[in-house]
Amino acid sequence: MSKILVVDDEQSMRDFLAIMLKKDGHEVVTAENGSDALKAVQAEIFDLVITDVKMPGIDGIEVLKTIKDVSSETVVIMVTAFATTETAIEAMKLGAYDYIIKPFKVDELKLIIGNSLEKRHLIKENILLKREITSRAGFKNFIGKSEPMQKVFSLITQVAATNSTVLIMGESGTGKELVAKAVHFNSPRKGGPFVTVNCGALPETLLESELFGYMKGSFTGATSNKQGLFESANGGTIFLDEISATTPALQVKLLRVLQEREFMRVGGTTAIRVDVHIIAASNKDLQAEVAKGAFREDLYYRLNVIPISLPPLRDRKEDIPILAEFFLGKYARKDDAGVRIKRFDAEAMKFLLNYQWPGNVRELENLIERLVIMTRDDTMHLADIPDSMKNHQPCPDVMPVDIPVEGMDLELLLENTERALLRKALERSGGVKTEAAKLLGLSFRSFRHRLQKYENG
């Protein structure tokens, strides 16, 4: 279904076009003059505008100019009973899709409308493809025979048949986005868009405008109306990765989308309804975040309708040899130069099985890719594995502590420990905050917030 604006000072023409377009399943808004049309395009984003050229007051050419100024992706068809070559040329130069002369044949008009909407949909698809090229591959990118992964596969199959909100939990690198894609591409929505949003990678103000879109002039740099990612995902799935990184203010707005399936663009006044399957993911324990007051409890329960918990790689060691062989084949095929690694010797495989894999499957894949490039033998040996991995000491689940007989100030101890770790991470990263955040397993925004707390204190 497309959203179409019909602009004509003749009521009979407006009614005719509205009835025809609604019969074809489109949402139609009408305007009887150029002034009403300008108000409509400044308040809403249309896929297509069909406008008369000759109208009292503001004519169709001015309407076209405004549309291309505030919503350049909207397709415009000009209609007139008073055709001149000059007007037609001007309209096409200003970005009109086509120029139709009254009286026209209905079949001809329908063909032009169909072609124009196809162009609009191609524009939208191209925008999504530029954001992310996704593989519609079901489970083919999922490797694992272990019992924990078989449970995950079974749950994905069940979830894919529903529209219930899904919350995927697991450490970084366990494959949360792969799960979201598997749910989408095995669901009835597989023909619709799959849109990924990394909530931890954008500042709050930019994330809000990316998710919900904005209207021209709503903030500095908003030079035209823009649809948000929720609208782009309409009819498909939106994947909200690192949901724990969202601010309380944004969490309120996400809660409304989950409850009402509607939202308003930044600077907008009209509620927009969408039909999207919402999948969220977090590498943090959201229940613990709720207990700390860092995440809204009501949003957590709205997200946690169907939870999927991904096991870390260290808890499914029997999958490591299969994954290692899979990545070996993947990267050996990509590199046509030099000797390709064909196997792992016993010591190398023993290391892979005993290593704790703090970066999970992603870390294993990165290692195999590096070895394919750097190793000149056809067998991977223990000596080929970087020393940084062999010397790695896993972070303890609990720091060794003791409580003095006289008691202690726990809050002060935690603050001092956090401050010391932040400083140590900055020292080790040479002052590069993004790298320091990675060392501590934090998003850049979370690291910056924690650092500011002590800088301001």
Q: Where are the chain's structural domains?
A: 3-131, 147-309, 317-390, 410-456
pLDDT along the chain (457 residues), means of 10: 90 93 92 93 89 91 90 89 79 88 87 87 61 46 82 90 93 91 91 91 85 87 86 93 92 93 89 94 92 93 94 92 87 60 85 91 91 83 87 58 76 85 85 84 83 74
* Residue 420 confidence (pLDDT): 86
- Tens digit of each residue's pLDDT (9 = 90 or more) over 233-271: 999 999 999 999 999 999 999 999 999 999 999 988 888
Query: How many other CB atoms are there within 10 angstroms of residue 247's CB atom?
Result: 17
Residue-level pLDDT at 130: 47
User: How many CB atoms sit inside 10 A of residue 129's CB?
Assistant: 11
Which amino acid is residue 232, in one-letter code? Answer: S
Partner residues linked to 278 by β-bridges: 238
Residue 252, pLDDT score: 94
* DSSP codes of every residue in 350-400: HHHHHS--TTHHHHHHHHHHHHHHH--SSEE-GGGS-HHHHT--PPPSS--
CB 457, CB 422: distance < 8 Å: no
Amino acid present at 373: I
Show the beta-strand stretches assigned E in 55-184. 75-80, 98-101, 166-169
> Looking at domain 410-456, what is its CATH homologous superfamily?
Homeodomain-like (1.10.10.60)
Q: Provide the pLDDT for residue 222.
A: 81
Domains 3-131 and 147-309 share a fold: yes
What's the full length of the chain, in residues? 457
The topology under which CATH files domain 3-131 is Rossmann fold (3.40.50)
Burial label for 346, CB within 10 Å (0-12, 13-18, 19+), is exposed
Q: Which CATH number fits domain 147-309: 3.30.1240.10, 3.40.50.300, 3.90.1150.10, 3.30.300.130?
A: 3.40.50.300
Out of 1.10.8.60, 1.10.10.10, 3.30.428.10, 1.20.1630.10, select the CATH number for domain 317-390. Answer: 1.10.8.60
Helices (H), 214-303: 229-232, 248-260, 286-292, 297-303
Given this model, what pLDDT does residue 133 score? 42
Question: What is the pLDDT, as a whole number, of residue 141?
Answer: 58
How many whole angstroms separate alpha carbon 434 and alpha carbon 70?
36
